[in-house]
Structure formats: structure tokens, C-alpha cells
Amino acid sequence: MKRFWEYLSLTVGSFIVAAGLELILAPNGLVDGGVTAIAIMSHKLWEIPLWVVFLGLNLPILLFTTKVTGKRFVIRTLYANAVTTVGLILFKPIPAITTSEVLIVLYGGLLLGVGIGLVVKTGGAIDGTEMLAVWFHKRFHIPITTFLLVLNAVIFATAAFVYTLEKAMFSLAVFYIVTKMIDFVMDGLNQAKSVMIISEKPEEVGKRLVHDLEVSLTFLRGEGGYSGDEKRIIYCIVDRLEYPKLKELVLEIDPGAIMEASYVAETAGVKYKPLFPYPKS
């Protein structure tokens, strides 16, 4: 059943990408970076169907980088690329659903970001440039972000010549929205915060956190850098909406408490219920 839902996610994500490309971006001369951008520009210059360039570039790249990506990734990426290709063929006869530049940027970026995010989250990929970036990183130790930045800079500069500078600028906006939507799909709304609390009243603070907020926490052993005194440090993970309450409660008990909080992109096994046998007061 889990495999079914994973491949359903791959299918839906791939069709969404195809819709974003054929129904919004390509007919209006905007690109989003990577192989899909090359496919759109090739269609503009030589009227080659998007799916031909898309598949013609992605398949060799995938085969070339197989050793560093792994069997599971290759299979899912092949499936996603096949479904995207089918979608590009099916959506080709349908005219663009909008010509408004604002809607093109917003909904083009939204569709591609959501679609790519679903595929990536399920263990596959749509665009071959990410695979190349991983290969170059393994082979020549070039940072992945640097490789993608340079490659996409060349692609957007080319787009300015193929279309216009204004369209290239709109394409940059699309690319930005796509990256943000991918992050949103990958991280979701359930971002949490990891919190470390150094207090002179660790027992009392821990007891209140467990009883009042039902937070699962752990006591860590620490040592004062100046005093050398042993300390009990409280570590916990809370929902970002619960953090203000936690902060207020801690400072109410110990105004001098030191707190450090940072976002975590993903958590597993976190249950917000009491784990310590403190008696209710």
C-alpha cells in the first residue's frame, strides 16, 4: 500500500509538471531552468516537441549518473520522466490557459514547484541538471549549489537572447517560486523547533513543560564553561505554534533561563505527551 501511494504521488507530480510546462510556460515563452528550459527554448528555435528534448536529455544524463544515484532513484526517475513525457504529449494540443504575465509567473511556478516537490519527496527527479550536479560533486568536489547556479545563469542568459530580456526576468521569478514551492512541499506546514534550555531550575521547568504543554523532553548532562558546575540541560522538539507558549512558561519559572531554538525541517517519532512520571499537582 505504501508503494502504491508513492507511485501515485510520482504520477500526480509528473502530470502537474507537464501541465505547467505545456499549458502555461512554453506557450508564453517563459522557462524555469534546467533541462525543461532547454526543451522550451529548443521548441521556440526549431519547433522540436518538448517531450523529445526533455526525454532526449534526461535519459542519457540519468544513465550517465546511475552509479552515484542508486537503483531506487533511477527507477523512480525513469517512471516520473515517462509519465511527464506522456503528459507533455497529451497536453500539447490544448492552448495556453492564460496569457497574463502575473498569472503565468504565479501559477507556472506553483504548478512546477508542487509537481517537482512531489516527485523529489517520493525519491525521484524530473530534471537532469540535479543529477549532473550530484555527479560533478562526487567526481570533482564542485558544490551542488554552485554547479546549479552557474548552469542556470547560462540558461537564463540564453533565454534573454532567445526571447527577450523581460521574459528572462519573468523566468527568474518563475524559477524563484518553483524553488520555494519545492521547499514547501518537502517541509510542509509541520515545521517544528528544537529547543535547548539552560536553567537553574531544570526539574521545575521540565515538570511544567511535561504537565502543562505535554512536551516530550530529554535531560542532557552539561558542564559550565567558566564555573565547571554540572548542569542539566533540557532538550525538546515542539510545534512552531507551541513555541511561544513554551518560551513564556520557561521565563515565568526562571527569568534568567537561557534558551536556544532553531527550525528543524523534519521530525520522526515525536509524541507530545508526558514521558516522565511526575505526579499531577
Contact of 14 with 84, CB cutoff 8 Å:
yes
Strand order from edge to edge, sheet including 258-264: 217-223, 230-239, 192-198, 258-264
d(CA 153, CA 137): 18
In single-letter form, the type of residue at position 216 comes to S
CB-CB contact of 89 with 19 (8 Å): no
The C-alpha cell that represents 150 in the structure block: 552557474
Q: pLDDT truncated to tens, each residue of the chain (281 aa)?
A: 888 999 999 999 999 999 999 999 999 999 988 899 999 999 999 989 999 999 999 999 988 888 777 788 889 999 999 999 999 999 999 999 999 989 999 999 999 999 998 998 888 888 888 788 878 877 888 887 788 888 888 999 999 999 999 999 999 999 999 988 888 887 765 568 899 999 999 999 999 999 888 888 999 998 887 777 888 999 998 877 788 889 999 999 999 999 999 887 666 665 544 434 444 44
CB 160 within 8 A of CB 93: no
Euclidean distance between the first and final Cα of the chain, in Å?
46
- Predicted pLDDT at 276: 40
Architecture of domain 192-263 in CATH? Answer: 2-Layer Sandwich (3.30)
Distances (CA, A) of 238 to 36, 252, 268, 270: 39, 18, 12, 9
Per-residue cell: 186: 518537502
Q: Hey, where are the domains in the chain?
A: 1-187, 192-263
The amino acid sitting at 20 is G
Rg for the chain (alpha carbons), in Å? 25
> Of 211, 217, 214, 223, nearest to 195 (Cα)?
217
As beta bridge partners, residue 264 has 192
